[in-house]
Structure formats: structure tokens, C-alpha cells
Amino acid sequence: MNNNHIAVIGAGAWGTALAILFARAGKDVTLWARDKTRADSMRATRHTPRLPDAVLPASLTITHKIPEADILLLAVPMQHLRQILPLLPLSPPVLLCCKGLERDTLLLPPELVANRPAAMLTGPNFAHEVAAGLPAAAVLAMPDATQRAALMEALHTSTLRLYGSPDIIGAALGGAAKNVIAIAAGVVMGAGFGENARAALITRGLAEIARLATALGGKSETISGLSGLGDLLLTCTGTSSRNFSLGLALGQGQSLEHILGARTEVTEGVATAPALLARAQAAGTDMPITEAVTNLLAGRRNIPQTMAALMGRALKDE
């Protein structure tokens, strides 16, 4: 596999951070922005409002035209993934860096990209820390062991340690579902329910994600690793998490419409929650926290009713 040229599709915070990471590591990198004006501005100023403290390396090429590359990293929001796929060249492998489920089809990223070799790059990573060169780890999940090893060799850097996994479904689910649990964790803290409640919620959230992973053909042990537990812990405790901060604001009494209206970045958990619940129901899997978040976001229950419903569930063994 020739891995000389990496193209990152999507100039949001995460895509830009990845482009900075690989360019700083000496790789030939092109960053694609959908909007020509944004691409021109980033190219001229070597800055982006998505990562205000980061400087774009001089070696990083920025364009609004889809580039040819040896490896494609797709860092567009999950709900835009289907629109981007037909624009891409067919030959190179695709690394999916988006997290969530498609709202209408309930598909995970690798299920949406079923007609070409694809991998998931996922884990507990905040974009601004990766862009700053702080140490991090991630999972590269792909069923084909040979291709997986080649991609890991091509993409590891001195500040990003990669671990391989054949379980692409489990890795994708962990990255999607943690955003929903993080909204719940934010609500808990915003409403003043305390650290005990957050710890319990994270633990039980992990259990329900593992149940669904197994039902969909993934492995429960994947959910105990970086792409599951690692990402869940970061997103449920880190103040930089968009999903946690949205839940925090909800818990403090702000409306969902007001919170989203003040944001420029996508908060994936809002769209993921009802899709994840529908996917779980179709698989016959109980996900009470996901159901609670979905009802709260839809306005069907308020926070006291939501907490009462969770605490009043039938007793059972762990």
C-alpha cells in the first residue's frame, strides 16, 4: 500500500486537528473544506476559528476541491457522510473519523460505507489537544488484518499511539453511543445530582452500549477499550465535550433550541439519541439511559420525571 499522501475530508475541529497532526509528523497532507471562502481564509491566515489556538503548518495543503490521495480520512459530520461519499475517488481505503448513526437509516459509519474497504479511527481524543501535540491514543478498527496493519504503520506518530481491532462495528458503536451518555452525564451535573450519580450513569451507560454491541455482531470487550470506555470517560467528564456541555446547559435549565442556536459545531448526540434508541429497539436491546435522553431531548419528559423513571426501574442483579 502506498501511503505517501493523506487527504482529510472535513475542516471542522477534528478534521483540522488530524491534518495538523499528520502534517507535523512530516506526512504529505491535504485538508479539504467544503466552502471555498473558508479554504481560502485558512490557506491565507494559517488559522481557523474551529481551533483558534492552532497554527496550520506551512506544509499543509488546504483546498475546496476533492483531492486524490493514498489514504482518505473522512471527518465530516455523520449526517453529511452520505452526501460526501459519491464525491470521493474509489481506489484508496477510507478511514471513518465521524461518530454517530445516520438519522433516517440508523446505519453506523462502516455500514454506510459498505462498498469499499473502510476502517474506523476512533477513541478518547479532544481535537484541540491533538492539534496541540499532546499525547493521545486511538483505535484503528478494520476486519482485514493486513490492511489494518498497513494503515497503522502509515498513520502512527510520536504523539498518537494506535491500537488495532478487527471489531469495526463495536468501535463505531462505542464512538456513537458515548455522545448520548455524555448528554445524560451533563444533565446530571447541571441539575446538581452529584458525582455519585454521574459515576453510576457512566457505568450503566457502558453496560447498555455493550449489550447493543453484542446484539449487532460486535464484541463487548471492544466497549471496555479505548473506543468504548476510554471515549465514554473523556466525553462524560471533559468540559470540552460538546455533548457533555449541552447536557450541562439542559440541566441548568436552558432550552435545547437556545443551546443549539448558539453553536456553530455539530453536537452529534442530539441526532444520535433517537436513532440509537430505534436501533436498540429493533435489536430487542434495552437501553434505558438512551431512552431517557431521547425523551428529554424531545420534550416528552422533564428532568425530574426522567430521573424518577431511571431510579424507579425494576430491581435486578448487575
For 314, which DSSP code? P
CA angle, corner 265, sides to 189 and 183, nearest 5? 25
Q: Name which of 32, 128, 36 is nearest 80 in CA terms.
A: 32
Q: H-helix or E-strand containing 165?
A: strand 160-165
Dist. CA 297–CA 295, nearest whole Å = 6
**Which entry of 27, 36, 99, 178 is annotated as an active-site residue?**
178
List the grid coordinates of 88: 470521493
Other Cβ atoms less than 10 A from the Cβ of 240: the count is: 13
Dist. CA 141–CA 91, nearest whole Å = 19
3-state secondary structure 78-105: HHHHHHHHHHCCCCCCEEECCCCCCCCC
Burial 69-95 (b: 16+ CB within 10 A, else e): bbbbbbbbbbbebeebbeebeeebbbb
Dist. CA 13–CA 25, nearest whole Å = 18
At which residue does the C-alpha cell 471515549 appear?
Answer: 231
With a CB cutoff of 8 Å and minimum separation 6, the contacts of 86 are none
β-pair partners for 74: 9, 96
Which class for 246: exposed (0-12), middle (13-18), buried (19 or more C-beta within 10 A)? buried
Dist. CA 124–CA 113, nearest whole Å = 23
Q: Is 178 a catalytic residue?
A: yes
Catalytic residues: 178
